[in-house]
Amino acid sequence: MTASAPATWFVTGTSRGLGLELVKQLLDRGDNVTATTRSAERLYAGLAGADTSRLLALTVDLADEAQVRDAVRHTLDRFGAVDVVVNNAGYGYLAAIEELSDSAARQTFDIQVFGAWNVLRAVLPHLRARRRGHIVNISSILGLTTMPGWGLYSAGKFALEAMSEALAAEAADAGVKVTLVEPGYFRTDFLSTESLALPSATMDGYEPIRAMTRDHLALQGTQLGDPVRGVQAILELVDRGDGPLRQVLGSDAHAFASAKVESLRADLEKGKDLAMTTDFPQHL
C-alpha cells in the first residue's frame, strides 16, 4: 500500500454514511475502490466532484451469493487483486422483539450476517492465496451491548462479531488480518427514517420503546461522532496493520463498552459459586 502501488479496496454499503465517506477518502488518496451498493445513482450523487476513475461501482444484492461472487470477479478483472475488504452494509431496526416479523428479522440477517458471509466466502480464497490482506467488519457498539428496542440490530451485529473473532484466528496463519470496528453514534443519516426501519405495527406495553424511538430520531444531526474522523481512524488501522481485533470509535462507544465489561465481570463473580458446582467431583 505505497504511493507507487495503490491498494484495492472492496467495500459494501457505500451509498451513504460511513461507507460513502470511506469511498470519498479512498479515491482522494488514489486507491482503487470497488463499491457495492443497492443504488449506484445515489452513490455517484454522493461522490459529485470526486475523481471516480479508480472506482468500480457495482449494484449488488449481498444476499445473492452469485452476485457477490461476480462482484469479486469483476474487481479482480479490473484491478488484479484485492487488498482490503470492508463489510459495511446494514441498517438499523427499532422494535421490541415481540413486534418483529419473521420477514423483517430475515431481511436484517440477510444483509448484516449472510451478506457479509457471502463476501468472505468469495474473497478469502484470493486473500489466502496471496497470503496477505485485511478484512474490516463494521460492527457497532451494539455488537458488544444492547438495549430495549435494538434486539434485532444487535443480534445481527453480535453474530458478525462471533464470525469475525473466529475468522481472525482461522486466517492469521494465511497472513490475513481481521478487524472489528465498533462505532458509537456518528453524524450520518443512520438515525433518520431513511436508514432506520420501524415496525409496520406496534403493540401496547412497549411505550418506553416508542419514546426511545422518538428520542433517537431527534438525535439526528447532533451525534458526537464525526464521519470524516471516523473514516480517518479506519484508514489508520488498516495502514498500521497492528491494531486490536476490536476497535471502538467514539467516546460514547468507549463508555458503553466499558460499562459492558464491568457488567460482565459482575455477572461472572455473582455466578461463580454455582458454576463451580457443575463439574464432576475430583477425587484425590
- Do residues 82 and 102 make contact, with C-beta atoms less than 8 angstroms apart? no
Percent above pLDDT 90 for the chain: 80
Total residue count of the chain as it appears in this document: 284
CATH classification at residue 164: 3.40.50.720
- Do residues 190 and 89 make contact, with C-beta atoms less than 8 angstroms apart? no
Q: Domain for residue 1, yes or no?
A: no
Q: Domain for residue 25, yes or no?
A: yes
Give the mean pLDDT of the chain: 92
Neighbour count for residue 233 (Cβ, 10 Å): 16
- Do residues 26 and 9 make contact, with C-beta atoms less than 8 angstroms apart? yes
Q: Domain for residue 157, yes or no?
A: yes
Neighbour count for residue 129 (Cβ, 10 Å): 10
- Please report the pLDDT score of residue 200 as a whole number: 84
- Please report the pLDDT score of residue 197 as a whole number: 86
Q: Domain for residue 282, yes or no?
A: no
pLDDT higher than 60, residue 1? no
Rg of the Cα atoms in the chain: 20
Q: Domain for residue 185, yes or no?
A: yes
pLDDT tens digit sequence for 12-64: 999 888 999 999 999 999 999 999 998 888 999 999 999 999 999 999 999 99
Query: How far apart are alpha carbons 139 and 249 in whole angstroms?
Result: 11
Cα torsion through 94, 231, 87, 57, rounded to 10: 110
Q: Domain for residue 195, yes or no?
A: yes
Q: Specify the number of domains making up the chain.
A: 1
- 122-131, 169-178, 214-223: range with lowest mean pLDDT: 214-223
Query: How far apart are alpha carbons 181 and 40 in whole angstroms?
Result: 25
Partnered with residue 10 across adjacent β-strands are 34, 85
- Please report the pLDDT score of residue 192 as a whole number: 62
Q: Domain for residue 80, yes or no?
A: yes
Residue the block writes with cell 465481570: 265
98: left (phi over 0), alpha (psi -120 to 50) or beta: alpha
Name the burial class of residue 4, with classes exposed (0-12), middle (13-18) and buried (19+) by CB atoms within 10 angstroms of its CB: exposed
Q: Is the dihedral of CA 144, 148, 149, 152 positive or negative?
A: positive
Q: Domain for residue 199, yes or no?
A: yes
Query: How far apart are alpha carbons 198 and 213 in whole angstroms?
Result: 9
Active site residue ranges: 153
Question: Residue 3 corresponds to which cell in the numbers above?
Answer: 504511493
pLDDT tens digit sequence for 171-209: 999 999 999 999 988 787 666 666 678 888 899 999 999
Query: How far apart are alpha carbons 93 and 87 in whole angstroms?
Result: 18
Domain that holds residue 108: 8-246
Q: How confident is the model at residue 226 (pLDDT cuts 50, 70, 90)?
A: confident
Query: How far apart are alpha carbons 235 and 269 in whole angstroms?
Result: 38
Neighbour count for residue 55 (Cβ, 10 Å): 21
